[in-house]
Amino acid sequence: MTKRLTIAIQKKGRLNQDSVDLITKSGISFSTNGERLLAKSSNFDIDILLVRDDDIPSLVEKKVADLGIVGENVLLEYKSVRKSSKTVNVLDLGFSKCKLAFAKPEGKKIKSLNNKKIATSYPGLVKKYLKENSLKADVIKINGSVELTPYVGIADCICDLVSSGATLEANNLVEFKELLTSQAVLIANSTSSKLKQKRISQLKERFKGVIDARESKYVMLNCDLSNSEKICNLLPGADAPTILPLKDKNKVAIHALCQEPVFWETMENLKKTGASSILVMPVEKVLN
Ligand code: ATP
Ligand code: ZN
């Protein structure tokens, strides 16, 4: 049995760059040139399959790919109509955050979704929502330009992805109910072989290391020894700060790995509490 893994990622679109970055930052080298659908890594036993995002859950389900990177929205839509699916989310990846929400033309009154016509690319999820809320409505599946449907008389409202809301605003639509929030996720088949699962776990740890490093910062600062306790308490997500003596016996240097974002406000608070020479540095990898 081959121990080589295959990971399916989006070929072109919003998920592509972040997926490629995550894989390469995990120490996996590969090159994708031109229209090639398959890229082989030269330094890790993995092949990268470049496909449309909608095909990724079924490729993992059929074990054509062992892993996939896809929006949770696409995974949940896939699973909403395949109850016995073995494709599961194994890691939240923290990018491509968006939500699936109902929106209506500005000024139009919609008190309930009952008996309405709803246009969406996510019919499975919308129907599930309607069922769970004992509502009856007409769900119309549209693959693109969903936001235009209320204006051409096809639908009363839509259910579509929203991130900043700019597309809705540009089309005079307003959100009135959120269905779910989504982000990119790593998916795998829960029935993959023991050997593959071992390799998947190794890769997952590397991905986690890259994700944790994204938020993490290494902070160094100086302060009075008498203030060190207070200063340590202000460092976000720092489990075990290192306190080092300085030449001036009343002063110390504090070094800490902060595993939560360090904002300007945090630095200003540190300064107010007596810290000086505050350095915040990026972290490339974390292995906890
Ligand atoms: P494909 O050609 O691969 O089918 P697509 O047009 O269906 O691509 P994209 O628009 O590239 O898909 O979006 C891919 C995923 O990115 C979505 O399924 C969703 O998870 C996420 N996404 C969509 N819109 C946004 C957004 N505005 N902001 C952040 N993430 C988004
Ligand atoms: Zn798609």
What's the number of domains the chain is made of?
Answer: 3
Please report whether residue 43 resides in a domain: yes
Q: How far, in Å, from the CA of 52 to the mean position of ligand 2? A: 6
Domain end among 182, 203, 237:
182
Q: Of the residues 16, 161, 169, which should be mutated to test ligand 1's pocket, given the most ligand atoms within 8 Å of the CB?
A: 161
Q: What average pLDDT does the segment 74-95 reach?
A: 97
CA 121 to ligand 1: nearest atom: 7
For helices 72-80 and 123-132, the axis angle rounded to 10 degrees is 70
In this structure, are 75 and 204 located in the same domain? Answer: yes
Q: What is the DSSP letter of 55?
A: G
pLDDT tens digits along 12-29: 999 999 999 999 999 999
Please report the pLDDT score of residue 36 as a whole number. 84
In this structure, are 64 and 195 located in the same domain? Answer: yes
The per-residue b/e assignment along 116-146, b for 16 or more CB within 10 angstroms, e otherwise, is bbbbbbbbbbbbbbbeeeeeebebbebeeeb
Q: How far, in Å, from the CA of 45 to the mean position of ligand 1? A: 28
**Domain residue limits at 271:** 217-282
Please report the pLDDT score of residue 1 as a whole number. 60
In this structure, are 19 and 158 located in the same domain? Answer: no
Inform me whether the pLDDT recorded for 34 exceeds 80. no
Please report whether residue 287 resides in a domain: no
Inform me whether the pLDDT recorded for 268 exceeds 70. yes
What is the pTM for the complete model shown?
A: 0.89
In this structure, are 66 and 191 located in the same domain? Answer: yes
CB 255 within 8 A of CB 220: yes
C-alpha distances (whole Å) from 54 to each of 9, 74, 80, 122, 258 are 10, 7, 14, 11, 37
In this structure, are 232 and 175 located in the same domain? Answer: no
Please report whether residue 288 resides in a domain: no
pLDDT tens digits along 95-109: 999 999 999 999 999
**Closest protein CA for atom 30 of ligand 1:** 96
